[in-house]
Every structure is written in C-alpha cells, then in structure tokens.
Structure 1
Amino acid sequence: MLQARSLCSRELECSVNFWLYGVRSHAIFPPVTKFDLRSEDCVQGMSRLTNESVDLVVTSPPYNLGIDYRQYADRQDRQSYLNWCAKWSTQIRRILRANGSFFLNVGSAPSNPMLPHQIVIELTSASGGFFLQNTIHWIKSIAVEDREGDLKSHGHFKPINSKRFLNDCHEWVFHFTKTGRVELDRLAIGVPYQDKSNIARWSHTRGSDLRCRGNTWFIPYETIQSREKERPHPATFPVQLAEWCVKLHGVSRVRTMLDPFLGIGNSAVAAQRCGVKKFIGFEIDEAYLAEAKRRIE
C-alpha cells in the first residue's frame, strides 16, 4: 500500500495510521507544516528572529557568477561578495541552535573555481564562527560503464564550449555546525551493501543491510518540458537534495527549518514531505515567492 519511494519517518507513520483507520487511498498524508514565507531581505528578516531558534538551515545563495536573477545583481567584486556572505552567515549562526546543522549549497565556474572554498574560509574564520563538519559532493551528471561494458550517461548538466575547461557536473554542499560534533542520522539516507558479507563482518551493522551513503550524492535534475512553467528560476537545487539534508540531520530533531534564499521553494517542499513542524523562508523576488507558495499548497 505504501509508495515505493523512500519516506521520511513522519510520512511513513502518518500513512500507516491512515491505513489502520480504514482510509482506502494510496496517497501519502504528511503532517501539516506551518509555513512562514516572507517577502524580505534575509539579513533584515533573520535579524528579527530569536537567538538559537532554528534547528536546520538548508540554502543556496547566489553564486556571484553573473546569473540573470530578476531582483538581484549577481556580479560583485570578490571582497564585497564575501562581506555580504559574512553578514547573512553571522545571522544564521546567531539563530542556529547549538546542535543545529547548516547545509550550504554553492557552485562555481571553471574559470572561478576557488569561490566556494573562499566562502568556507570566511564562514570558518574566527569572526565567522562555524566548523566545517562535512563536505558533500552533489553530482548532477555522471557517465559510467554498465556490466556489459557499455558507457551510459545519467543526469543533466550545462555544457561548456571551451578548449580549456571540462563540463562542470557537480556542486558543493558544505555542512556547517557550531561545534563540529553534531551527531547525524547517517543511515536515514543509507544504502545497502553491495557485498552482503560485510553485514556479518562489521559489528556496527548490527545485522542490518544498510551503510552510510558517504559524501558523494548523485541527485540528477528531473527532466522537464518547460523551464518557464516547471522550473522558473535560473539556479535551483532539486527537492531531493534538501530532503536528504533534512533526513541526515534527523527529521525528529527538526522543529524549525530555515531557508534564507527561498527561491521557488524547493527546500519548503522538502520540509513538507518530511513533516517538519515549522518552516521559515525569505525571498526578495515576489514572482519566485508566489511560485514557492503555489508549490506547497
């Protein structure tokens, strides 16, 4: 009766409860998430949030790569951009709880490969105050050989017309915490062992055919027919990426989740799927905000 896709624990509990009470439906009934989506600059908006009031932040700011946003100039000089990153990250650190997690998705351009690492240096400096606890590689496209030796490509990427640079098929997801010691629910996004003998070999498995996925996440974009209708934003991460971040931190420990750069609301959809109790999002573009609200209705 349950759908085949992996469910957040609260989704699963809720769908089972509906089945027990005789509801004849194959639909999933996630708990209701309370949304607070605001048309506001995130630095100003976060300044009004209470200290240590957020458990989880999943976000992706503009990358300063000249992307054509409607309400934001995505091309500053390097130091101005890093100073701006320091402003919003300072607010995130203030409102994040001591055992909270901050997942930051950042991309780069082949001609500007150091920018993500400079952001990390800024956020982990003495003034930044964060610890980089994990570095995750989001793989958007990959080519691998199958068992017959045939090469198969999976996923999507934007090709680069260059004789110097390779196509950029991945982005970074940096996991920051306040202490560097926040425990995670690693098996919430775990994968089965390829060699089943490892189940008995390693005591930490406790007989379970499930291991940590690791820090390489292959999450392709869904194939769409119309960007204007289905993905009306120039730079989004998939809902599944945010969903894995929620699960990895631990769904049961997320009372309040925040995305200061909401865009069209993929992180909000992930929060809804996982049954997060409260979600706060900031977005300065009214059109993107309207789309985010539509997608969680």
Structure 2
Amino acid sequence: MTLPLGTIHQGDCLELMKQLDDGSIDLAFADPPFNIGYKYDKYDDRQDDEKYLDWCEKWIGEMHRLLKPDGTFWLAIGDEYAAELKVAATRTLKPGFHMRGWVVWYYTFGVNCKTKFTRSHAHLFQLVKNEKKFTFNAEVPAVRVPSARALVYGDKRANPKGRLPDDTWILRPQDAPESFQAMDDVWYYSRVAGTFKERQGFHGCQMPEQLLGRIIRVSSNEGDVVFDPFAGSGTTLAVAKKLEREFIGTELSEDYAQYATERLAAISSGDPLDGPADPLSSSPKTKNGVKLKDREKRLAKKNSTASKQS
C-alpha cells in the first residue's frame, strides 16, 4: 500500500485510490455527493446525469479493486440515483458486487420541501465481492436489538441475546425526551442536526457515529482496515479508530481534510462513540401488548368456560 494508514489524504479520490494496493481494504464506507445541488466548498454537486454516473462507476470500480476477496462495501445514497448506482455496482461493473442488503435509513429533522413530502430517508447498500464469504458479525451484542417477543410479550422463549435488526432503521428524537432510544426491533439514530452536541460544525452532511458503529462492528473486526473515499467530517474514520480498526481516507477539500484530521487527533482508540448507545432495553408503549403469561391465563379461562358449557 503506497499511501500510509491512519491519515486522511487530501486530493481527488480517484487519483488517490489508484495509489492503494489491490485487495488491501477490509471494509469501505462511502457517502458520496448525491448530485442534488448541495453546496460543498470544492465540489460541484450539480452535474449532468451522464457525467455523474460515469464518475460513480469509476470510483465504485476502484472500490471493487481495493477490497479484499471477503471485503464489504457500504454505500449511502439518496433517491435520485439509488437505482442507477445499484445497477452500476452489481450489473454494469464486471466483475460486479453482490448486494446482501438494502437498508432504508429513516430519520426526522429531514429536508423540508415545499412541493413534495419532506424527505426523511436515505439508502444504505451492503455490497460484497464474494456472496458466500464476507464478514457479518451477527452475534456481536452491540449489533443486536431486543425483540418484541421479549420486551412486549414477556415470552421466555425469546433469545436473551436479542435479534438482528430489520432493514429499516428509524431515527425519531421525539421517542425520548432526553435522548434517541432504540425501541424493539428497529434502529434509532438521529441525523446529526445543526444544534446537536455531536455536530462538528464544518460539514453539513455529517453521519451519526452510532450508525457507523453498527456498520463497522458487523462488517469488520478489530485490526481490519476501514476506508472512506469521501471522508468529509471524518466520522467513518473516527468510529473506526474508536473501535480499534486501522483506517485511511481521502478527501477533496483541504479544509475538510484539515478539520477531520484534527478531530481524529483528539480521540483515542477505545473511546466511546458519540450519541446515545443502541440498543436500549426499554419496552415500546403499546395498548395491544399482552404478557405471555396473561395471555395463557385468559386462554385457560376461556377453555375452562367452554368445557363447562359443553
């Protein structure tokens, strides 16, 4: 690997990725520009479709080259180009990725719209090179969530370790007065709004650390190399460092690269992730939730009454 680990390399991601060795990355996460006219300091986020998609195919192709044979690539993208990038990654690219998951990340504090419903979601693609051999740490406690069977119904048959989350991740701050909580079988991570303590202040599209924590925990192991071609605020790399992974990133903006580097220098391996931990073991409020033992009592009473009447 020509470029050293443990740093953010400033410059064009395509040119810098060419300086990385084949099969050198265990896990990659990319949150690229969505081509919706967002105002970055160095990048023009309003390209024509053909130019934007051609660029995406090129860096996605580089991502495929960089990943190890059992590596995983997570891609965050908006509605406008989700379908196109899915096709580019799995069909246009030869050889292409295999899609293992398509997660819908739902959040509040969405983008307010005047002539359409407020946007409050993004897409997260889980892509692998080998559809039968890849890292997926399903038994890691921080990845699992308590089930409705355990929390709502008190069913002793429920797995005490919890269950894997669904593929819709929900972020609703109103579910708790003091924090964002994981309830039942969905994920709650807040989009990092401008007023949040977690917000770094220099990048408007900052990802929440807890969301990246779930991805990095499930798709890599301690000591693995995590790569982000669009480092931005540095969240992917910060979480990788906290979770004791090696990390490397690229970033076009000189300012973003500098500020994110300062962020990385201020944290240490093993530091807790910012934002509320997930999952929490609080039970969702539901008038239809009935404890298993209460249901069994009612059923026994019903059967007894029916037997007497017969």
What is the TM-score of this pair, normalised by structure 2?
A: 0.71
Q: Which has the higher contact order (CA 8 A, sep 6+)?
A: 1
Give matches, 1:107-146, under 5 Å: 107-108=78-79, 113=80, 115-128=81-94, 129-141=96-108
CA contact (8 A) 1:199 1:209 kept: no
Give the structure 1 partner of residue 252 of structure 2. 284
CA distance in 2, matches of 1:132, 1:287: 34
Does 1:265 pair with 2:234? yes
- Superposition deviation, residue 224 in structure 1: 4.0
CA drift at 1:234: 2.7
Instruction: Give the one of 104, 121, 140 matched to 1:170.
Output: 121
Q: Is the 8 A contact 1:70 1:285 kept in 2?
A: yes
Deviation at 1:186, TM superposition (A): 2.4
For 1:121, the aligned partner's letter is V
1:247 aligns with 2:232: no
Alignment of 1:117-266 (within 5 A): 117-128=83-94, 129-141=96-108, 156-162=109-115, 165-181=116-132, 182-188=134-140, 189-196=143-150, 201=157, 205=159, 208-218=160-170, 219-225=189-195, 230-252=200-222, 255-266=224-235
Aligned counterparts of 1:241 and 1:288: Cα–Cα separation in 2: 21
Gaps of 5+ in 1: 1-33, 142-155
Asked whether 1:49 is paired with 2:20, we answer yes
Amino acid of the residue matched to residue 60 of structure 1?
D
Which residue type is aligned with residue 110 of structure 2?
A: F
**Is 1:51–1:94's contact at 8 Å kept on the other side of the alignment?**
yes
Aligned to 2:74: 103
Q: Higher mean Cα deviation, 243-252 or 95-104?
A: 243-252
Amino acid at match of 1:191: V
Residues 193, 209 of structure 1: 8 Å contact kept: no
3-state secondary structure, aligned to 2:75: strand
Equivalent in the alignment of 1:60? 31
Cα-to-partner distance string for 1:14-72 (whole Å, 9 max, x where unaligned): xxxxxxxxxxxxxxxxxxxx612101211111111111000000120101111111111
User: What is the alpha-carbon distance in structure 2 between the residues aligned to residue 195 and residue 257 of structure 1?
Assistant: 35
User: 1:109-134: per-residue Cα shift (whole Å, max 9, x none)?
Assistant: xxxx4x11111111111435111111
Classify the secondary structure of the residue corresponding to 2:91: coil
8 Å Cα contact 2:27-2:220 kept in structure 1: no
Change (3 A) 1:65 1:249: same
C-alpha separation between the residues in 2 aligned to 1:87 and 1:37? 21
Change in CA separation of 1:140 and 1:187 when aligned onto 2, cut-off 3 Å: farther
Indicate the RMSD between aligned Cα atoms, in angstroms: 2.1
Question: Distance between the aligned counterparts of 2:40 and 2:22, measured in 1?
Answer: 31
* Counterpart residue type for residue 225 of structure 2: T
Q: Tell me, in whole angstroms, the C-alpha distance in 2 between the residues paired with 1:216 and 1:83.
A: 29
Cα distance change on mapping 1:174 and 1:282 into 2, 3 Å: same
Q: Which amino acid aligns with 1:85?
A: C
Q: Name the larger-Rg structure.
A: 2
Q: Distance in 2 between matches of 1:89 and 1:198?
A: 46
Q: TM-score, normalised by structure 1?
A: 0.74
2:217 counterpart letter in structure 1? K
Q: Per-residue deviation at 1:158?
A: 2.1
Query: C-alpha distance in 2, partners of 1:222/1:259?
Result: 19
How far apart, CA to CA, are the structure 2 residues paired with 1:199 and 1:251? 33
Q: Residue 162 of structure 2 aligns to which amino acid in structure 1? A: L
Identity of aligned residues (%): 25
In structure 2, the CA distance between the partners of 1:247 and 1:231, relative to structure 1 (3 Å rule), is: same
Residue of structure 1 aligned with 2:54, choices 73, 78, 83: 83
Q: How many residues align?
A: 236
Contact 2:135–2:218 (CA under 8 A) maintained in structure 1: no
- The one-letter amino acid paired with 1:130 is F
